[in-house]
Amino acid sequence: MRILIIDDEPNIRKALSLGLETMGYEAASAKNGREALDYVLQNGADVAFLDLRLGTDDGLDWIEPLLKAQPDLSIVVLTAHASYATAVEAIKKGAFDYIPKPITPDVMRQVLLKISKNRQLQQRVEDLEKQVAAVNDAYDFSSDDPAMAPIIQLLEKVAPTQASVLILGENGTGKSVMAAEIHRRSDRSKEPFMTLSCPSLSAELLESELFGHVKGSFTGAVQNKVGKVEAASGGTLFLDEIGELPLSIQPKLLRLLQEREFERVGDHKTRKADVRIIAATNRDIESMVAAGTFREDLFYRLNVITLKVPPLRERRYSIQKLAERHLRQLCSSIGREFSGFTGEAKVVLESYDWPGNLRELRNVLERAVILADGPEVQAGDLPMAGSSGAGTSVHVGSQVSLDELERCHIEKVVNQAQSLDEAAKILGIDSATLYRKRKKYNLG
């Protein structure tokens, strides 16, 4: 772990740094809160030992800015004047622990061990939550949406095989859900499904997460570690955002795919791998190959079968069905009851472009379930209602009534026409009929 010492006394900074480096940790120091914040913003850190008194500054005042800069930072407050009230305040502000000075090597070691175990537990919980979310997500794999049917058919064919699969699509389109579904339909379904997010770590740590490492292989490698490749043995390893994989690791992944062999970082022992690789990216991987930022041979190895997931704006036939499924799930988990959506809400849902795709749809509906009064979700409960491109049109085949379809069509034609007479001519009705319909639909 990378550890930052924040103390205004040079001798304490030096002593703690030496102690941590002796234990095998990477240590940096800052003499005040501003210097510490700049360091975290530029370099990141795993743990910060924060002195309660930083000259004239109160160390507690820097907890929130540091956590805002890096939410997963574990802050340990140090003080020579320990009190119960200050300890409570530190924890309330988000500190991980609070210990009195002088801090001994044994105490420091125990605190870091506790932080390490806590981070491992959080990672396990996140992995489990991803798997549960993947199973319960709003994908309908029996979809009759014309945009999705060919992809579902291809998924059904490739899932039972051992072929590598590359899933392409924008952020939020459900690439990880599709990867989990491929695993679920394979003969590896009873074995682990592991996920590794490629942009989340430095090249050194990413290689360690992927292949594991042996004790002493790099600073902070205090014990042997099994990587995701071994942890997923017999099952499937999903490499999310493979386009962000550093060039230095790409040859090792290629070897894994070709020869089913790898070594842990710092180890000379060659190990065999029995794992299926599924990768996904939102980037134009072929352009990266042309630019030399992604290996061509690795691309071809990953690209045995490609699934291109269309964005939600190209799947309007599915939007209402997906929204209703999400609504049922959210009502069940949050403990509220909604019978469905009003006609106007359906219009908003189907006419919005959903730049955040399925992820945005779920977030919007979760907000509505929490804040709306019910018994139906109304247009006003949706934050994008009234925004550009939302609620001003419907599409043929939308699950709305003929009146709603007519209202939206009249509104759009009137807004685009130079005059009401021109609008009436386009609509094929006389001006008096147009007047009555505008009054009926309250179009002004």
What is the token pair recorded at 435? 């007047």
Residue with more model confidence, 439 or 136? 439
Q: Tell me the percentage of the chain whose pLDDT exceeds 70.
A: 92
**pLDDT tens by residue, 340-367:** 999 888 988 988 888 888 889 989 999 9
Residue 402, classed as helix, strand or coil, is: helix
As a CATH number, domain 2-114 is 3.40.50.2300
pLDDT at 398: 60
pLDDT bracket for residue 135 (50, 70, 90): very low
User: Taking the domains of the chain in order of start, what are their residue ranges?
Assistant: 2-114, 137-308, 314-440
Separation between Cα atoms, residue 118 and residue 160, nearest integer Å: 37
pLDDT at 391: 44
Residue with more model confidence, 167 or 141? 167
Q: Tell me the percentage of the chain whose pLDDT exceeds 90.
A: 30
pLDDT at 388: 45
Q: Which amino acid is at 263?
A: E
Q: Which amino acid is at 354?
A: W
pLDDT at 136 over 80: no
Judged by average pLDDT, the poorest of 219-223, 236-240, 373-377 is: 219-223
- According to CATH, the topology of domain 137-308 is Rossmann fold (3.40.50)
Choose the most confident range, by mean pLDDT, from 175-184, 195-204, 323-332, 379-388: 175-184
Asked if 195 contacts 130 with a C-beta cutoff of 8 angstroms, the reply is yes
Separation between Cα atoms, residue 181 and residue 307, nearest integer Å: 13
Long-range contacts of 312-317 (CB under 8 A, 24+ apart): 312/172, 312/173, 312/354, 312/357, 312/358, 312/360, 312/361, 313/353, 313/354, 314/147, 315/145, 315/147, 315/148, 316/350, 316/395, 316/398, 317/145, 317/146, 317/147, 317/397
Separation between Cα atoms, residue 241 and residue 228, nearest integer Å: 16
Q: Is the peptide bond preceding residue 102 cis, with omega within 30 degrees of 0?
A: yes
pLDDT at 182 over 90: yes
Residue with tokens 């996140």: 126
Residue 155, classed as helix, strand or coil, is: helix
pLDDT at 166: 96
pLDDT bracket for residue 142 (50, 70, 90): low
Say if 2-114 and 137-308 have the same CATH topology. yes
Residue with more model confidence, 297 or 52? 297
Residue 144, classed as helix, strand or coil, is: coil
Residue with more model confidence, 152 or 222? 152
Asked if 280 contacts 169 with a C-beta cutoff of 8 angstroms, the reply is yes
pLDDT bracket for residue 392 (50, 70, 90): very low
pTM for the model stands at 0.58
Separation between Cα atoms, residue 320 and residue 399, nearest integer Å: 7
Judged by average pLDDT, the poorest of 57-71, 83-97, 135-149, 168-182 is: 135-149
Mean pLDDT, the chain, rounded, equals 85
Separation between Cα atoms, residue 280 and residue 306, nearest integer Å: 10
pLDDT at 34 over 70: yes
Helices (H) and strands (E) in the chain, counts: 18, 18
Asked if 45 contacts 220 with a C-beta cutoff of 8 angstroms, the reply is no
Judged by average pLDDT, the poorest of 6-20, 126-140, 157-171, 419-433 is: 126-140
Judged by average pLDDT, the poorest of 128-132, 256-260, 277-281 is: 128-132
53 strand-pairing partners: 58
pLDDT at 104 over 60: yes
Helices 402-416 and 420-427 meet at what angle, rounded to 10?
140
pLDDT at 134 over 50: no
Contacts of 62 (CB under 8 A, 6+ apart): 6, 33, 36, 37, 50, 54
**pLDDT tens by residue, 297-317:** 999 999 999 999 999 888 888
**pLDDT tens by residue, 379-391:** 889 988 765 445 4
CATH 3.40.50.720 holds for 314-440: no
Using CA atoms, how far residue 71 sits from 66, 95, 198, 399, 417, in Å, is: 8, 11, 19, 42, 52
pLDDT at 278 over 50: yes
Separation between Cα atoms, residue 28 and residue 38, nearest integer Å: 12
pLDDT bracket for residue 218 (50, 70, 90): confident
